[in-house]
Chains A and B, each alone.
Chain A
Amino acid sequence: MDALLKAKKDLRNFYLLVLFGAMVVLMGLAAAHYMEEHGHIVTGMNNQIVWGMPHVFAIFLIISASGVLNIASIGSVFGKAVYKGRAPLAGMLSIAMLAGGLSVLMLDLGRPERVIVAATHLNLTSMFAWNLPLYTGLFTLVAIYMWTLLERRMNPWIKPAGLAVFTWRIMLTTGTGLIFAFLVARQAYGSAILPPMFLVMSFGWGMAVFFVVQSVMYAWNQITPDPVVMGRMKNLLGIFVLGTLYLVAVYHLTNLYFAKQTAFEHFILIDGGIYSWLFWLGYVVLGSIVPLLLIFLPGFKKNCHVIAASILIILGSFSFLYVFIIGGQAFPLDIFPGYQVLSSSFGDGQIGHYAPSLPEILLGFGGLGIAFLITLVGVRVINSLMPRDASSKD
């Protein structure tokens, strides 16, 4: 009887969560419709800051969608048993986040109804165009990979499918980094370090998302995770956070070394206002150092510490992307080296102003909502998505 009552309560809670997710998605769609009707004038974006809040959300989701597959790769490609049981959930999360991220990116277009043009007219010199087959390819490969994981007869194909996904998602995140790395004239971008930086970021961010989702699933089903397994996973997360911090430091240090880039670095690191605050406090302190302490300090061994670290890493990633994408555009282009711009009607030589508006923030949350809904329904209908270890207690 108790079990029946619990099942009923579970179902009710599930539908409530579906309703919540659907509401968030609907708000995002309504916001996109509003933007489409009135034009981007209703957003905070302008002719200097052309990519704004939707891009922060979309790029977080796309990077994490690739990174979360790391869990699957460690299991299927490198044969670590602990991660094998987690591969199906990682695959599901990847599809969910990719769908969310791409939806935001697509709905933010000036002409979203023309998205089919992007598929029918591919300009091969464009990194954006290259990314489109990379995205659809990842969807397909992860779907096939999940099939090999979940269908017993297909099990012998797990390793090749896992290897294909592993290779593909490295190409995909390299592609995401190259979108920025190929921008020759912008001080913030145009650097070959960006693709590897994005790659290492993806490992940490994807794993943080995985930790949060896994913990919620454990709590929902009243499962106590195996502390040894959790300990190993959190150490790996810590290493990824350190790796990201290292690459971000190298990126800024190389910029500081080039005389022509010092003004830009001064802006981002010291007198950029919101951008400097978000970088140091949001990304470095709260998004990296505090999570590292929570992960590596001997006193913090509980599951809740890892979850807190993961949530902070996710918030830190949003801070980082805000500074990278929006701060990077706010700093003016150096069109006239050796000259000071005394006046211009188009904001030349001035720091660009950007204040995100509600519709674009709602659109971003709509993308998170899509990822949430897909994950929620996926976890409910596919039993095997639950990460299990031999010693985890039900």
Chain B
Amino acid sequence: MSEEIGRRDFLKGSAMLAGLAIAPGMMLYDLAHGENRPASSAVRWGMLIDTSQCEAGCDECVKACNKENGLPGGTGPTDEQWIRKVELKNLKTGKVSSLPMMCQHCAEPPCVDVCPTGASFKRADGIVLVDRHLCIGCRYCMMACPYKARSFVHEPIHDQKAEVPRGKGTVESCTLCVQRIDRGESNTACAEACAKAGHKAILFGNLNDPNSEIAKRIKEVSSMQLRADLGLDTGLHYEGL
């Protein structure tokens, strides 16, 4: 009999000890990560790019993106480029424009449609991402993307940032600095760098909020979505093209 009580006491004691050991860890985790709120569909993150403000030859946005996301910054055909600068000439008028090009964060993203495992997904707030744990590296999304927005990681990765997990053999693209958004910050690295360089060509914000600067500007100025004929309803809008 006394032996049985001993076993019960032992179990009780163990449970309490385990609770004591885990509880502070859980609290510290919560403290470190803050409140874990899911993305809201009331928000649609997007950008308005004013090509008239974008300076040819300036690549501050590219550099800022590389720094923020821990990308090596190479520009070879096998290097990862989440954002790139493109110079265009209008074939009819001859007008030359410069603009940053990246994932357009479509409302109807073809990459998400074709991804066999669901690794490519769209968050409720409109950000299109790749789940690096589900991506098998088939590159079907790269075949499907009309904007050539995605890169495949061709080589082993060293020194990646804890906030921006990446991996050899998976596909990646612009995340609209999702780590910043989830921390409650209100701007992306590229938009911030562009403003810092005095150009203000990239305006980031919530397209769904009628009082946001981006929503007001889009209402006022004439802007377009790239390859609007495909009906993908991109989150990125271009002004001055």
Contact = CB atoms under 8 A, between A and B. Distances in A.
Interface of A: 36, 38-41, 46-48, 50-51, 109-112, 114-115, 117-118, 121-123, 125-129, 132, 179, 182-186, 189, 329, 333-348, 352-353
A183 B87 CA distance: 26
B87 A110 contact: no
A48 B151 CA distance: 9
B148 A118 contact: no
Contacts of A51: 139, 143
A110 B138 contact: yes
A332 to B, nearest CB: 8
Contact of B110 (A47, A185, A329): A185
Given A39-B169, A109-B137, A348-B148, A343 B230 contact: no
18 contacts: A46-B154, A50-B142, A110-B153, A111-B135, A114-B135, A114-B136, A122-B117, A125-B112, A128-B138, A129-B117, A182-B144, A183-B114, A333-B146, A339-B88, A339-B91, A340-B88, A348-B101, A352-B77
Nearest to A347: B77
B144 A185 contact: yes
B124 to A, nearest CB: 18
A352 B88 CA distance: 18
A123 B113 CA distance: 8
B140 interface: yes
B156 interface: yes
A388 to B, nearest CB: 42
Contacts of B145: 185
Given A125-B114, A339-B241, A340-B89, 6 more contacts: A117-B117, A117-B134, A118-B117, A184-B230, A185-B227, A333-B147
B222 interface: no
A39 B97 CA distance: 36
Contact of A344 (B87, B142, B147, B170): B87
Nearest to A186: B143
Given A48-B148, A129-B117, A348-B101, A110 B88 contact: no
B43 interface: no
B75 interface: yes
B84 A335 contact: no
Nearest to A42: B154
Nearest to A46: B77
Interface of B: 62, 75, 77-81, 84-92, 96-97, 101, 110, 112-119, 134-140, 142-148, 150-156, 167-171, 226-227, 229-230, 241
A333 B110 CA distance: 15
A186 B140 CA distance: 12
Determine the main DSSP class of B at the interface with A. loop
B86 A343 contact: yes
B84 A339 contact: no
A125 B86 CA distance: 32
Contacts of B144: 182-185
Contact of B143 (A39, A50, A341): A50
A129 to B, nearest CB: 4
Given A109-B169, A111-B170, A344-B87, A39 B110 contact: no
Contacts of A353: 77
Contacts, number: 181
A335 B147 CA distance: 6
B96 A342 contact: yes
A56 to B, nearest CB: 15
B117 A335 contact: no
Contacts of B134: 114, 117, 121
Counting chain B CB atoms within 10 Å of each CB, the highest count among A114, A125, A345, A352 belongs to A345
Contacts of B150: 47
B71 to A, nearest CB: 13
Contacts of B90: 338-339
Most chain-B Cβ atoms within 10 A of its Cβ — which of A117, A125, A336?
A336
B233 to A, nearest CB: 14
A111 B133 CA distance: 10
A342 B88 contact: yes
A53 to B, nearest CB: 14
A47 B155 CA distance: 12
A184 B90 CA distance: 24
Contacts of B170: 110-111
B113 A40 contact: no
Nearest to B96: A342
A136 to B, nearest CB: 14
B148 A110 contact: no
A335 B146 contact: yes
A134 to B, nearest CB: 12
Contact of B116 (A50, A111, A122, A329): A122
Contacts of A337: 227, 229
B227 A39 contact: no
Given A186-B143, A338-B90, A342-B96, A109 B84 contact: no
A196 to B, nearest CB: 21
A126 B113 CA distance: 6
A110 B146 contact: no
Nearest to B80: A47
A118 B136 contact: yes
Given A183-B144, A343-B86, A121 B81 contact: no
B137 A341 contact: no
Given A47-B142, A50-B143, A109-B169, A344 B114 contact: no
Contacts of B113: 125-126, 182
B135 to A, nearest CB: 7
Identify the interface centre among B115, B117, B171: most chain A CB within 10 Å of its CB.
B117
